[in-house]
Amino acid sequence: MLNKLISNELSENTVLPLSSLHKIAIHPLREKLYNELHNRPFQSISSPAQLTHIAIQHQGELKQQEHDFISLLCNRFQVNSPAKSMPCFYQDFGLFSLRWERHLEYSTYTFIHQAPLTDQPFVKNAIDYVPSNWFEQMPGQVIAAVHLIIESENIDKAKTHKVEQFFDNMSLIASAPVHSQAKVWSSFKLHEDGFGRFLIYQEDLSPAQLGRLAQQLLQLDTYRLMATLGLPLAQAINSELNQLDIQLQQVTTYIALGTEKSDRELLTQVSKIAAKVEDYRSQSTYRFSATNAYYDVALQRMEELKEEEIPGYMTLQEFLMRRITPAVKTCQTASNHLEDISKRVTRASDLLRTRVEMVLQEQNQTLLKSMNHRAHVQMRLQQTVEGLSVAAISYYGMQLFETMLTSLPTLGVEYNHELVSGFAVPIVIGIVFVGTRLIHKRLMKGLK
């Protein structure tokens, strides 16, 4: 009934007045979560334009250095510097614009020059309008660097075959994204200036569509490099894991066949293998997880391109899938191999520990049997000693009794000394025996 009343009230007033909202407790992250959707908006780009995109790897560090670096450029052109907490920054500097984004382990600098070409494509690029003495101070290591040219032209078959000259006559990959409203060429290779190249010819795309297309291509180039960053590590680890695999196989064979090697030696060998495996896991776990994440994002960017095929060329998605997927699979294989060896090492350690525990149990059983035998012998000796003790105590008791008897004549008591002594012997022995048994029982009861 209460839910029905609430739903009726909400249907009558679907929008809460501002004063009512202020009376409700607001989640502290609500505004941040709203702003997160708009932290890295698509940049509107008018055609023609030239872009230079550089991705710098910083491993989550260099935050202060990056801020100082960008502030230096802003101060030079007398514009406002970005706040230290900003993950994305865009500023127009006249001849060029800068779009900067900071990610978890890398940052991107995209320089945009929106003007017609003064020469053939890739002769003069957006980076050429940036002060060189500032650019050379860029912190971090370059992981991706690419020039992107946007031109508004209609491309026919004759013009298409001349595109290779802009890529140093390298073999090209091309497609028609955005449902064939544009045509994109790239070689996905480094040229003499150390940059990759993208060439876009478009017909009727809006600045927003061009901005999205350019961002998708630049992100795709960055993500595919970040996705393959774990490949050299995977290849190095795989060769080492093969050796560890052989060593572990030998250890398990020794455990199964019971060779001359001692359990201590085998356990030491297994511990060394386990230490190496954990070292490799610590080096590679983050890198391989990041590889999978970047690969998923790269796949998403490929789908967003909505490519259509240009006759005679491989599409970007087809080319990258043929190249990136094996690299990512290699990283996944290395990661799975590590996990497999880690589990096998654990099982081998458990087997060895079980064997050691069984040996210890056998030794303990042997020791207990020996202790039981010793206790039995000790008990027999104790019983013998108790018998001797009864005899000794009885002897001394009779001596004391006879001493007492010798004093009786002085008291005027007449008796037969031999007869009284003879009858006293069994009585004294019985008393001593019963006394010792009572003491023995009391002691045993206290131990229990």
pLDDT of amino acid 161: 54
Residue whose C-alpha is closest to residue 285's, from 219, 234, 215: 234
- Phi then psi dihedrals of residue 184, to 5 deg: -125, 135
Residues in contact with 260: Cβ distance below 8 Å, sequence separation at least 6, in sequence order: none
Lookup result for tokens 């356990």:
267
Beta strands in 281-396 (DSSP E): none
pLDDT in tens, 395-427: 777 777 777 777 777 777 777 777 777 777 788
Tokens 């003790």, located at residue: 389
Phi, psi of 420 (to 5 degrees): -65, -40
- For 279-309, write each residue's pLDDT tens digit: 888 888 899 999 999 999 999 999 999 999 9
Cβ atoms of residues 427 and 435 within 8 Å: no
Helix (H, G, I), strand (E, B) or coil at 200: strand
User: Whole-prediction pTM value?
Assistant: 0.73
Average pLDDT over every residue of 77-103:
90
Q: What are the structure tokens assigned to 220, written together?
A: 């795709």
Distance (Å, whole) CA 290 – CA 307:
26
In the predicted structure, residue 5 carries a pLDDT above the cut 50: no
As a whole number of angstroms, the longest Cα–Cα distance in the chain is 159
Count the neighbouring beta carbons within 10 Å of the beta carbon of residue 425.
14
Higher pLDDT, 144 or 381: 144
User: What's the residue count for the chain?
Assistant: 448
| Distances from the Cα of 265 to the Cα of 255, 272, 383, angstroms | 11, 11, 48
Give the C-alpha separation, 240 to 119, whole Å.
52
Q: CB of 197 within 8 A of CB of 166?
A: yes
Residue 90 phi/psi, 5-degree rounding, is -130, 135
Dihedrals phi, psi of 281, to nearest 5 degrees: -65, -40
**Higher-scoring residue by pLDDT: 388, 168:** 168
Residue 47 in tokens: 């055609």
Residues 218 and 55 sit within 8 Å (Cβ to Cβ): no
Give how far Cα 225 sits from Cα of 130, 236, 384, Å.
25, 18, 90
The burial class, CB within 10 Å (0-12 / 13-18 / 19+), for 196 is: buried
pLDDT in tens, 189-225: 999 999 999 999 988 889 999 999 999 999 999 999 9
- Sheet of 141-152: strand order equals 88-92, 97-102, 106-113, 49-57, 141-152, 196-202, 182-186, 173-175
Beta carbons of 239 and 245 less than 8 angstroms apart:
no
Residue 175: how many CB atoms within 10 A of its CB? 24
> How far is 115 from 404, CA to CA, in rounded Å?
139
Rg (CA), the chain: 46
Domain boundaries, the chain: 43-214, 229-366, 382-447
pLDDT classification of 158: cutoffs 50, 70, 90: very low
Residue the block writes with tokens 């967003």: 304
Q: How far is CA 140 from CA 132, 196, 221, 356, in A?
A: 17, 19, 18, 53
Structure tokens at 428: 């004294």
Position 249 confidence tier, pLDDT thresholds 50, 70, 90: confident
DSSP label of 46: P
DSSP 176: B
**Residues 248, 306: Cα–Cα separation, whole Å:** 49
> Is 69 buried (19+), middle (13-18) or exposed (0-12) by CB count in 10 A?
buried
Residues of the chain with pLDDT > 70, as a percent, come to 88
Is the pLDDT confidence value at 245 over 50? Answer: yes
User: Which pLDDT band holds residue 9 (cuts at 50, 70, 90)?
Assistant: very low
pLDDT bin (cut points 50, 70, 90) of residue 448 is: low
Average pLDDT over residues 30-56: 83
Return the CATH number of 229-366, one of 1.10.101, 1.10.150, 1.10.3470, 1.20.58.
1.20.58
Per-chain mean pLDDT for the chain: 83
Phi, psi of 350 (to 5 degrees): -65, -40
* Dist. CA 182–CA 306, nearest whole Å: 11
Amino acid at 89: F
